[in-house]
Amino acid sequence: MSVIAPTGSDRPLLTGGAYDPVQVETTAMDLRVTGRIPEWLDGRYVRNGPNPIGAVDPATFHYFMGDGMVHGVRLRGGRAEWYRNRWVRSADAAKALGEPVPPTSGVSVAANTTVIGHAGATLALVEAGGTCYALTDELETIGSWTFQGTLPGGYTAHPKLDPASGELHAISYRFDQPGFVQYSVVDPRGRARRVVDVPVAGSPLIHDMGLTEGHVVVLDLPIEFDLARAMRAVGVPERMIGPGSKVASKLIGRVPAGGRLADKAASRLRNGDMPYSWSPEHPSRLGVLPREGAGAAVRWFEIAQCFVFHVLGAYDEVDRDGMVTAVVVDGIRYDEVFVNDDRGPEGATTRLTRWRLDLVTGRASETTVDDRQQEFPRIDERLMGRPYRFGYATGLAPDGTGTVDDRILKHDLVSGTTESHSLGEGVEVGELVFVPRAPDAAEDDGVLMGFVHDGATGADRLELLDAASLESVAQVHLPARVPHGFHGNWLPA
Ligand SMILES: [Fe+2]
């Protein structure tokens, strides 16, 4: 059933096809497999993404605002034991489904962006102050998740796990709290041991971050909360928006009622517009904060105007004497985005870019690593925060529509080369995550795993590629459509 009316080729994320949401939750056992699933894979591949419940208004729906749905495949002993998809029962999603609201607190924004495992829990995450949710192993919603009450104000969809300490590092922001972002460190048992406010100007959208052995990198870039757009989206009459937005912008974050108002406003934005816009007067800068430093210790590095949703990786550059002299950050650079009232990241130019932030001179330099259109960058996360050789990304259509295409890109940051591998004409590749063969396996000794749509047959599969050769290892054929989404992870049993 198609729930989104076609709106023309200028809105590819809304025209159905492999982005069209499904309206059924499926449980299927013993899935058909082509090739051989490696016996050493024992766990779940899970992936989150927007999947509105019921019909949406194509005039206002922003892809990023759709109700969250998690898809999962259980692999064990060379078999694909099950496939499941479940909506994340945020308060608003549960109401829309006519179900009791699970135990919940905080602002109801669709928890649609990623799903991770931490402290024994499976967590559906979202940013901007929205409530995150804990799921069972079978993807049923348990209730909201605030890290045992230590982070009640929302989190991020791109925390970074330090492989040495087992701690999760995050940069979080709230749409209703301008002037600062929050750096948090969550211990392996799931409690924040450190929360630091980092001052920023205005209300930037900060989707990802960098983590090195000694620092975190804050992406303070020119997409900002747009109050007029938010007011329009929740139904404020146009004649009120000019004066109204000025008064309200002064009150946001300052009046005690802000939290309840914010929750009401967020509910009305469900499956609607996203109240953030390109804000060219906002600085483009990267902040380097020592992991154990106070918020005021952040050092800002001005960079050429751009936006970065996703960081591939980051590390400290060390000289012969062991002094950290620079921080290196690799990310997918957009020249600009959300400029013309877009309903998704369309019409944008992306490229893999390296920024070197020189701690001695205080200056940033920028080089293009690969200028092909791409997104969803991932590394071998055993190397999170450390120098890495290989990075993987999904190709985007060269026409700038922002839709994924048939290519996986494997970057070799040491040799400075990129291998582009097509999975076949008409195939559409989602984000691929690297899973090492063993804890001590070489950097690209393992598989890349993610959902793939076959445009020729309309079928979807979980694809497993050899990360060294990029050849197919196994294909798990799925019994239902899996619309394209955002981020996934391998959660070992
Ligand atoms: Fe993301």
pLDDT digits (tens, 9 = 90+) for 424-472: 999 999 999 999 999 999 999 999 999 999 988 989 999 999 999 999 9
In the reported structure, the alpha carbon of residue 113 is separated from the centroid of ligand 1 by a whole-number distance in angstroms of: 7
Phi-psi region of 458 (alpha: psi -120 to 50; beta: other; left: phi over 0): left
Residues 6 or more apart whose Cβ sits within 8 Å of residue 260: none
Binding residues for Fe cation: 158, 207, 310, 487
Q: Are 211 and 194 in contact (CB under 8 A)?
A: no
**By the 8 A CB rule, do 179 and 282 touch?**
no
pLDDT of 115 higher than 50: yes
What is the CA(488)–ligand 1 centre distance, in A? Answer: 10
Q: Provide the pLDDT confidence category of residue 5 given band limits of 50, 70 and 90.
A: very low
**Residues 215, 346 within the same domain:** yes
Q: Mean of the pLDDT values across residues 180-191?
A: 98
Of the pLDDT bands very low, low, confident and very high (cuts 50, 70, 90), residue 124 is very high
- Name the burial class of residue 461, with classes exposed (0-12), middle (13-18) and buried (19+) by CB atoms within 10 angstroms of its CB: buried
- Report the distance separating Cα 489 and Cα 211, nearest Å: 18
Question: Hey, what are 401's tokens?
Answer: 């529509």
Tell me the residue ranges of DSSP E strands in 51-179: 68-76, 79-87, 114-118, 121-125, 132-135, 141-145, 160-161, 168-172
Residues 324 and 461 in one domain: no
Pairing of strands 488-492, 404-412: unpaired
Distance CA 133, CA 141 (A): 7
32 Cα to the center of ligand 1, angstroms: 30
* Long-range Cβ contact pairs of 417-425 (< 8 A, separation 24 or more): 418/369, 418/370, 418/372, 419/470, 420/372, 420/395, 421/470, 423/452, 423/463, 423/472, 424/454, 425/456
pLDDT surpassing 90 at residue 315:
yes
Q: Are 374 and 411 in contact (CB under 8 A)?
A: no
- Would you say residue 252 lies in a domain? no
Task: Report CA(216)–ligand 1 centroid distance (Å).
Answer: 17
Ligand 1 mean position to 360 CA, how many Å?
A: 31
Do you know the residue count of the chain?
Answer: 493
User: Are 299 and 415 found together in one domain?
Assistant: yes
Expressed in angstroms and rounded, the spacing between residue 128 Cα and the centre of ligand 1 is 12
| Distance from residue 313's CA to the centre of ligand 1 (Å) | 13
Question: How far apart are the CA of 13 and the centre of ligand 1, in A?
Answer: 16
Q: Which helix (H) or strand (E) holds 91?
A: helix 91-96
Question: Which three-class secondary structure state does DSSP give residue 360?
Answer: coil
Let me know whether 176 and 305 are in one domain.
yes
1 pLDDT band, cuts 50/70/90, is: very low
CA of 309 to the centre of ligand 1 (A): 6
Residue 251 pLDDT exceeds 90: no
Average pLDDT of the chain, as a whole number: 91
**CA distances (Å), origin 437, targets 38, 383, 466:** 9, 15, 10
Residue 188: give the domain boundaries.
172-224+282-422
Domain end residue (candidates: 359, 391, 422): 422
Given a contact cutoff of 8 angstroms between Cβ atoms, the answer to whether 336 and 307 are in contact is yes
pLDDT tens by residue, 19-67: 889 999 999 999 999 999 999 999 999 999 999 999 888 888 888 889 9
Place 488 in a pLDDT band, splitting at 50, 70 and 90.
Answer: very high
* 199-206 mean pLDDT: 94
**Residue ranges of the binding site:** 158, 207, 310, 487
Compute the distance from residue 36 Cα to the ligand 1 centre, in Å. 30
On whether both 68 and 194 belong to a single domain, the answer is no
Instruction: Please check whether residues 46 and 181 belong to one and the same domain.
Output: no
Band the pLDDT of 237: cuts 50, 70, 90.
confident
The pTM of the full predicted model, rounded to 2 decimals, is: 0.94
- Token code pair at residue 302: 């001005």
Structure tokens at 156: 């991020």
pLDDT bracket for residue 255 (50, 70, 90): low
Q: Residues 332, 370: one domain?
A: yes
**406 in the same domain as 300:** yes
Q: Number of structural domains, the chain?
A: 2
Structure tokens at 86: 């479940």
* 231 or 435, which is more confident: 435
Please give the pLDDT value at position 59. Answer: 80
Q: Reduced to 3 DSSP states, what percent helix, strand and coil does the chain have, rounded to the nearest 5?
A: 10, 40, 50
The residue among 420 and 228 whose pLDDT is bigger is: 420
d(CA 274, ligand 1 centre) in Å? 15
Considering the domain architecture, whether residues 358 and 475 belong to the same structural domain is answered as no
Count the alpha carbons within 13 Å of 281 in the hemisphere toward its beta carbon. 3
Asked if pLDDT for residue 260 goes beyond 80, the answer is: no
pLDDT higher than 90, residue 228: no
Q: What is the mean pLDDT of residues 184-194?
A: 98
